[in-house]
């Protein structure tokens, strides 16, 4: 999860200075696309990492880009591999993601964030630029996409996808954090108004169309979904984003359920780890570290009726197959867990 800071005026600011090295088809940054060479390190709890998990699955890159899962909590220094035997990533053989950052940058001064891609032969981090990372999976790894992979970033729609995605990032993805980490009443009030203004805009946009841009799922939908999936479980209470719950916003609730019930979205969402992360790690917001039992998750599987708006989730492509062995959300961690 990216670094966070609170400015002196009480307003939350996010550090956005990431490692911008790219893995490309032509290898212009020194890291060419190669099957089996890289490992995507994620945490299911993190919305920014959840995007990468979804895109990798939709595009069918499981066989060429391996994945490593950090646990839902971390300390001041690093995400850790506490879900793995002996607390070591089975491929990189390291206990902390920080080790891969320091392998490339011995004096790395910034936060250790997920998602990150690591070069397996050298053990060095390549990039943690979460926004560019998923775009590159769509555009630079095309030779290795599965047959029927969707066009998540189609060229004719890129300008509109970028425009919509920018507003989603600044006002919604980041907006919930702006509320949750506000250091003053004035900063919180302003953040709250910005967030719900954006959610109202999205409700209006999605009232007459099934997806954000065009008539298929795109990168923009992936970026919005991971925040909506966490809204009632975390952001409504923990981050004080409480004008309404997602379940009380009819258009966005229908849209979120539509995506959740689409292969690649709900089957990558781990509500237990999501709640553990936010409520345990953010001790400044929740000093008791008590994790709430609710909300009821079975509602995610109720009918949404969004098919009436038309649209084709995967365009001319097909849904991804079953989740790969070893990558499934643990039993009881998804919808229906109560």
Helix, strand, or coil here: 295? coil
Please give the backbone phi and psi of residue 28, each rounded to the nearest 5 degrees, phi first: -65, -20
At which residue do the structure tokens 């400044």 appear?
Answer: 284
**What is the H or E stretch that residue 120 is in?**
none
Q: How far apart are CA 178 and CA 199, in angstroms?
A: 14
Instruction: Say if residue 79 carries a ligand binding annotation.
Output: yes
Question: What DSSP character marks residue 93?
Answer: -
Helix, strand, or coil here: 191? helix
Torsion angle of the four alpha carbons 275, 168, 306, 209, in this order, in degrees rounded to the nearest 10: 180
Q: Which residues are catalytic?
A: 46, 177
Q: How far apart are CA 113 and CA 41, in angstroms?
A: 9
CB 170 within 8 A of CB 16: no
Q: How far apart are CA 304 and CA 310, in angstroms?
A: 13
In angstroms, what CA-CA distances link 86 with 94, 95, 102? 10, 8, 21
Residues flagged as binding site for glutathione: 79
Residues flagged as binding site: 79
């Amino acid at each position: 999860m990216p670094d966070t800071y609170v400015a002196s005026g009480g307003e939350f600011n996010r550090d956005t200075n990431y490692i911008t090295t790219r893995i490309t088809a032509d290898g212009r940054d020194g890291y060419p696309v190669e099957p089996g060479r890289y490992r995507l390190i994620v945490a299911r709890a993190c919305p920014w990492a959840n995007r990468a998990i979804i895109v990798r699955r939709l595009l069918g890159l499981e066989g060429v880009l391996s994945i490593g899962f950090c646990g839902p909590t971390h300390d001041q220094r690093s995400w850790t591999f506490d879900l793995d035997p002996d607390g070591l990533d089975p491929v990189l053989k390291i206990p902390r993601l920080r080790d891969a950052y320091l392998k490339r940058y011995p004096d790395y001064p910034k936060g250790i964030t997920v998602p990150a891609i690591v070069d397996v032969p050298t053990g060095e981090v390549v990039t943690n630029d979460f926004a560019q990372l998923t775009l590159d999976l769509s555009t630079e790894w095309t030779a290795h996409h599965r047959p029927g992979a969707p066009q998540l970033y189609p060229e004719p729609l890129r300008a509109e996808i970028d425009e919509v995605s920018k507003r989603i990032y600044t006002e919604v993805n980041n907006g919930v954090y702006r509320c949750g980490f506000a250091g003053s009443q004035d900063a919180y009030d302003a953040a709250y108004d910005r967030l719900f203004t954006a959610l109202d805009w999205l409700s209006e946009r999605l009232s007459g169309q099934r997806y954000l841009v065009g008539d298929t799922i795109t990168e923009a939908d992936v970026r919005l979904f991971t925040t909506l999936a966490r809204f009632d479980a975390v952001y409504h209470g923990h981050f004080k984003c409480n004008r309404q719950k997602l379940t009380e916003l009819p258009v966005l609730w229908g849209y979120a359920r539509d995506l959740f019930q689409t292969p690649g979205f709900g089957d990558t969402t781990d509500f237990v780890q999501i709640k553990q992360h936010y409520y345990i790690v953010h001790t400044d917001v929740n000093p008791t570290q008590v994790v709430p039992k609710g909300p009821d998750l079975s509602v995610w599987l109720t009918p949404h009726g969004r098919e009436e708006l038309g649209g084709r989730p995967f365009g001319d492509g097909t849904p991804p197959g079953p989740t790969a062995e070893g990558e499934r959300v643990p039993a009881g961690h998804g919808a229906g867990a109560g």
